[in-house]
Structure 1
């Protein structure tokens, strides 16, 4: 299958013939990157880490295809694309991100062919997800994962499902639409993935009620900065004195720029790419774009220093920045970045409520 992530740079990953060497390659790659983190610019650190994740996932897909072939189901019967959502789709994963994924495959000519395709790709998806769990990627808690039949479908069925989300703008369906907006093909037929994303953007234009629901969802998480510019840190528990950098800084900016980009028809999935595209389209001034980029890069780098927890034998990121990381050197820059995030949230709320005729 086609590998859309481009040049491969990890021979130990590319040549891994099983899960144990692949898991070891991941651990080595991440240890090397962790050692370099203090001296790396944030954007370079994120690019290198996400390229490492992509390479691991691509190798898992190749191993999964081989395993399914050995089981007697052969090669993929039609083209398909393996999709990443969440931080993977945005190329913003941390050291310990979970799996958010989906699979889309080409339409069949008849029901018998469709049943064959469905059986093959469900088996492939289940194998790939199990393999990724084995090398340290826990499954998405919300079950947005390729092994869930609701996220592993033909292009026709995917199109029908997206149409259903638009037709019934419940909170859950709008959440699914926002997840779909971050979808990125990491392996397979990129053109198939583009057609799927085209259906999403084509349907959005005629549904102002969806935009209103998206706005409500987008503003759910507030930036953790007080009216006097103080950090709103955790008061109790293991992380007392620390900051929820994921939901109090990173996610609010992800949500804001996703909504602005979707509203403008921008198909870029990374937040930094969306900021650049919005600036190019005239939706952000030079000053706004630069402030946003600087703030978001800081949030991305701080996410790499958040604490982890052991769950079912696997390390899982908590999204919480320990109090020990809130040094006198970092706090002023963090306060400035949070104020920028707060300003962006207000901008989104004001602009979209004006367009939608709200208060």
Structure 2
């Protein structure tokens, strides 16, 4: 079955007017990196990104983040017949990707401080964007079920909507104008509706709850690990991040990692939306001997964080790769 993507277009959706006017899916590539992708040089792309690029937070990307950037262009090039959804304020717009090559053009960057004076803008053909469902009714964010709002938006450039709980099927039914009662009767949806009814203020998503929980855990760990001597000296761990900065960083990492564990690629579980506690998202230091800095953290599944412990990140990746290869050969 074809995929469902949730998309932003450029930084802060700045390329949305172009996407809508041209009936395209749009993203951009940094000028100094694009040649590596066109040459199919993934390793060269990642190495160059780690050396010369920064994220929206102004810090060097992690290796998984750089790898995700490379994958985005592959996905955009290869999409065909997939549903794409993009929230624009209170409007929900959707389209279906069509065959055709990427169109590339050099254009002024909207953030030259981050990306340089020019960027490559990449456009993939799609059907004309629509903010109405298949029955001609307006699609409005404020009218969407509170639970659906959790998975119909993203902080990332774009990401595939996971269908483990039927969310991709929900999105297809939404844009087609089909009945949604079968989903709205499910426990996850009824619980969210009840929470919204009890709390007339803001209702936090599972991602936001998970980010807050991870930030609290990290700050608590730092507070208790300042090199003090107990029965043994505790390894010092520090951070310069405030709680708000930490939560924003974690949310960004979740988006850049497409809601998947940075080490295994398994789907991340979020608070209130995951029955298996071992799959819950957990903040991991890439260099276990380093501190909680923006360039030294990644989000992994809880059980992987426990298994990795104080081991080297590359060692953990090598062993996970060996395990995966061994299973594939059986």
TM-score by structure 2 length?
A: 0.31
TM-score between the two structures when normalised by the length of structure 1: 0.29
Tell me which of the two structures has the higher relative contact order, counting C-alpha pairs closer than 8 angstroms and 6 or more residues apart: 1
**Which has more strand, going by share of residues?**
2
